[in-house]
Amino acid sequence: MGMDFERPEYEFLKELGLQPRNLGCYGDGVWRGNGSSVTSINPANNKPIATVVEASLEDYEESMKACVAANKIWMNIPAPRRGEIVRQIGEALRSNLHLLGRLISLEMGKILAEGVGEVQEFIDMCDFAVGLSRQLNGSILPSERPNHVMMEVWNPLGIVGVITAFNFPCAVLGWNAGIALVCGNCVVWKGAPTTSLVTVATTKLIATVLEKNGLPGAIFTCVCGGAEIGRAIAADTRIPLVSFTGSTKVGEIVRNAVNARFGRCLLELSGNNAIIAMDDADLNLVVRSVLFAAVGTAGQRCTSCRRLLIHERIYHDVVVSLLDAYSQVKAGDPLEEGTLLGPLHSQASKNNFKHGIEMIKSQGGKILTGGSVIDHEGNFVQPTVVEISHDRPVVREELFGPVLYISKFETLEEAIQMNNSAPQGLSSSIFTRNPEAIFKWIGPFGSDCGIVNVNIPTNGAEIGGAFGGEKATGGGREAGSDSWKQYMHRATCTINYGKDLPLAQGINFGG
């Protein structure tokens, strides 16, 4: 099978340390690979780019043994020093921002601006983590007993397993690894098999930083592989926390495996995100936001807008403007300037799109625009808008592609009920200038999602806030705010510095 790797426009791959054949396991500071070979495919033309030899279970075990040993060294390094290492990782990413971003665009299929933006997100997380490394503070609590002090102490968990999905093959690692490392944990990463080149290239940058500082490479371990490696991570008692990003179906399997050994699970699963347009909404803002949220990344973000709920008074105007905006979307090679819609990630994704359109039509959905596969060698589909009743079963499911369901409503209460009717609870947004509507929306009787926006899209979250959702989205929180606490072990410490032994609650036990 011929490789596109040798094409002149792919020369940049060599600058990232990639070759036509790459080893996919970095453990104990050594690259190895004794598992299956997978071929990375360019979704824009379905031609092979390069191959990666995945980790075998034996490779995984050898790597984990080294990781356990390295963890004793890493957690003993002061947090600010660990922050300096993460700062250097951020600098390595910054130096390769456009190269790595171009690889993400090539292998995943998102447009170049989004590929570069994804690497920037990892860089931003490194910057955040550096500051955090000097602020991993506990608490001093008042004790009811004389000559006693009570405090909370935070310590590393040990090893954090990170399993990421194809749609964000770099950034989601950054959400987890930046914080996990400054908190004193080693990281074991399994990227998606279909974006293995991004996994290998990113790991090479991180490994270079560790080597330059004379630190064990096993502090950061990479194990490319499929479900077999994922199951090993989920079942491994040496990994106290597993962060999994993917579908709700697979997330449930991971959760059950981790829970069975009383481990911790951080889940970022499916989304079914809605935008509500109230009758006082800025229509231009609504249309621009929906276009980015529903068409960006070809609808393959967990935060992509799947449902647009429009007040009946402005329904016609919004639909007309939206269809006009859709008609101007340029689909094509994600690496070309001006492209807004790249391909779906795989042929399987394209087939799921076709099946989803059939289901939509069978349940009374009316295709207002799009609805077809584009006749092209790549995995291109038309951005699609569907008019459909919000209570149809297909609307409750996440169709991972550029498909937008639109429905109308009469009252804010009805719109909130429609938003909350989805099994998933990741992101949501309302467009209004009414303070009463805004504060109801963000309050206890408003959106039940983990991300509750006003006058911005459902996607494109900043790293400073905690990212995650409720219900079938999994309940995990990553990135900013106090998400760091999930990567550490909290201990409540009571110290008696006196000579007596007063007991709590005033208990007298034979004294």
Main-chain dihedrals φ then ψ at residue 103, nearest 5 degrees? -65, -45
Q: Which of 415, 437, 461, 460 is nearest to 274 (CA)?
A: 415
Q: What is the 3-state secondary structure (H, E, C) of 358-395?
A: HHHHHCCCEEEECCCECCCCCCCECCEEEECCCCCHHH
Residue 6 — very low, low, confident or very high, per pLDDT cuts 50/70/90? confident
- What pLDDT, on the 0 to 100 scale, is given for residue 510? 82
Residue 40: pLDDT band (50, 70, 90) is very high
As a whole number, the mean pLDDT across the chain is 97
**Is residue 511 very low, low, confident or very high in pLDDT (cuts 50, 70, 90)?**
low
CA distance 208 to 217: 9
- The answer to whether residues 63 and 28 touch, using CB atoms and an 8 Å cutoff, is yes
Return all residues near 168 (Cβ < 8 A) that are at least 6 apart: 118, 245, 301
> Is it the case that residue 408 has pLDDT exceeding 50?
yes
Q: In this structure, what token pair is assigned to residue 477? A: 């929180």
pLDDT in tens, 50-69: 999 999 999 999 999 999 99
For 85-125, the pLDDT digits (tens) are 999 999 999 999 999 999 999 999 999 999 999 999 999 99
**Angle at CA 25, nearest 5°, toward 342 and 230?**
70
pLDDT of residue 7: 80
CA distances from 320 to 219, 314, 317 (A): 54, 10, 5
Per-residue pLDDT of 444-480, as tens digits, reads: 999 999 999 999 999 999 999 999 999 999 999 999 9
Q: Which of the residues are catalytic?
A: 268, 302
Chain CA centroid to CA 10, Å: 27
- pTM of this prediction? 0.96
Rounded Cα distance, 366 and 457, in Å: 24
Q: What is the reported pLDDT for 117?
A: 98
